[in-house]
Amino acid sequence: MPSCRGQELSAIAWAFATWQVHDVPLMSAVVERTTSLASKLSCQDIANLGWAFAKLLAEGDELNDVMSAAVMQKLGRFTSRELASIAWAFATQLYENQQVTRAIAEACSQWTQEREVFGAQSLSNLFWSLTRLRMMEKIVLEKMADMTLPKIVEFSPQALANTAWSFGTLATLGPSGASVMTAIGEVASPTLSGFSFQGLCNLAWSFATVAAVGSGFWDGLGKRLSEPEVLGDADLQLNQVATLAWSFSSIGRPPPSALVHLLKQAMEQHQAVSDGVDVQVDVEMILRSLHVLNIHGMLSSEILGLARSLLQQMAREKDSRSARSHVPPEAAGSFGKEEHPHVVIQNEQLCFLWKPKGWSMSVGKDREGSGDTTGSEQTLETWIQDHFGDIFPIAKDADAQHGLLHRLDRDTSGLVAWAKTYDAYYEGRLQFSLQRVLKRYVCVCHGHVPTDLIGCFIRTSLRIIPAGPEGPKRCIPGGDSGLPSKTLVLDVTHFTSPDGAALSLVEVELHSGRLHQIRVHLSSEGFPLLGDPLYGEGSVWCSRIFLHAAFLSLTVGLTLAHYCPLPADLKSVLLEMKPLSRLAKVAKEKWLDKRVS
């Protein structure tokens, strides 16, 4: 081995990787020799060795550092296939060297027709690799999309699925990207039988995320899922089936009955293999799939029981480290001070916390940002870690949202539910997914909301728009491609502002939990909230959005329920509002009372 040249080394490594032969001593010798020869390796040797090391999972930052230095030295001399192979190797090992990855991405974006063009497989590998390494910038994406479009018919099913996954992960499409996703749908739809089950999941999730294809694909996918050989040789994975269920619902379709059967089968299999073994599942996807089945009237008691059993099993080991059942007074924070969070009420399983205005929350699907945070304000998650982290392990667990069961917008005040244990957390999240939580809000909006809306649902579907040059993350009415959303109007009374403008004091009850749901629903009816610059306009005399989470009721073992009066800043706004009827005067007095109920 000490006398081997680069070509011989790459040939040995390539052969062992191709046959998946894990000869540890031999590969260690190859790695050692590669490190000493790195500066003398040819472009093809670098690409072949990188591919082989990734295929055999010969991980190590030292080796990758050597390989990336060799790549940078010869970057302008690689063929497109070699460049794609190197990117794939780094992505497979999740080796995130920003300098070399950016250099590869820029080389791709500058590729011209005067040089060898990328083949279909190379393009697919690059899409997947640069996305996984978080280096798919807009200019690179558009350039590669332009190169991909004429070659899309040459893509294999796996290449189509991987490319679609890249666009879904990026969650934003330029003109060229949208054309590529449409083309992928057109090529994939008549050939779904050629896709692996994982490939079908990737396609469905990607198309649902960017709402990129029409009904033909979904009709074909539903039919394919009903075929006995849909799994092929693959094992049935619970996370994959849950992803498919979410994908159908997110484009406004109920999951096909065959998929519901697969979900039940996957839960049964997962429960059997994980009995006594710490086997984890994607909790978010399981909860989303239950939510999907519930809203479409397809959730059976059997599936619910299986899901609850899985969640309890996951909680059992984690909760063995929790000893305390109540938050002691010294850990409860600045109790009673409106400007700071504090415990309002608690039982053995749950706490209801006071969230003041200006405190952000970023949990679950909204970890990437809720669209109304500045990045510098105080966060409720940090407060929970600081006050409860030494008592309750879940308070420090970001993967379990630090125990938070839901979120409020930064400028919304009111009650937030926090779970002290993993068992309470999973059961609480389950209750939210099944829409068995009672959440009531009070708000003030511009205009006079018709009183005949009292007792009626606003059912406008909603679609999330990612943050971008056009503005922060937000929701818009989604039409047929939006997520089902329901807000019940409980009460409406009419007022005028100090300058005589029409205002309404509105009480609502949430029956779904979409981003900015109340703000978008009322704005879509023509009545934006007072002080809401995102969906309406700011206010000189109301310094923040007039929206308050006033009542919360949740059952986890025992039921915890509580009303929360308006904070001082919103009371001062309400005091300046002139009621236009006896009912409005009664409503005003009610919300100015500290004992509101």
Which residues have a catalytic role annotated? Answer: 409
CA terminus-to-terminus distance, the chain: 81
3-state helix, strand, coil in the chain (%, to 5): 50, 15, 35
Other beta carbons within 10 angstroms of residue 242's beta carbon come to: 28
How far apart (Å, rounded) are the C-alpha atoms in residues 189 and 220?
Answer: 6
Instruction: Copy the structure tokens of residue 314.
Output: 């996951």
Identify the three-state secondary structure at position 342: strand
d(CA 397, CA 393): 7
Query: DSSP secondary-structure letter at 336?
Result: T
Q: Which two tokens stand for residue 95?
A: 């080796």
Tokens 């680069």 correspond to what residue? 6
The rounded distance, in Å, linking the Cα atoms of 260 and 142 is 38
Q: Using an 8 Å Cβ cutoff, are 406 and 391 in contact? A: no
Q: Contact at 8 Å (CB) between 45 and 37?
A: no
Number of H helices, E strands in the chain: 21, 12
Q: Which residue has the tokens 């109340």?
A: 518
Structural contact between residues 88 and 54, judged by C-beta atoms closer than 8 angstroms: yes
Closest CA to 69 of 26, 23, 37: 37
Contacts 24+ apart (CB under 8 A), 185-189: 185/212, 185/213, 185/214, 185/216, 185/217, 187/152, 187/153, 187/155, 187/160, 188/157, 188/160, 188/161, 188/164, 188/217, 189/213, 189/216, 189/217, 189/220
Tokens of 117: 């063009």
Tokens of 272: 């059997």
Helix residue ranges per DSSP H, 234-391: 238-250, 257-273, 283-295, 301-319, 380-388
Long-range contacts of 465-473 (CB under 8 A, 24+ apart): 466/171, 466/172, 467/369, 467/371, 468/172, 471/534, 472/369, 472/371, 472/372, 472/534, 473/368, 473/369, 473/370, 473/371, 473/515
Q: Is the CB of residue 458 less than 8 Å from the CB of residue 574? A: no
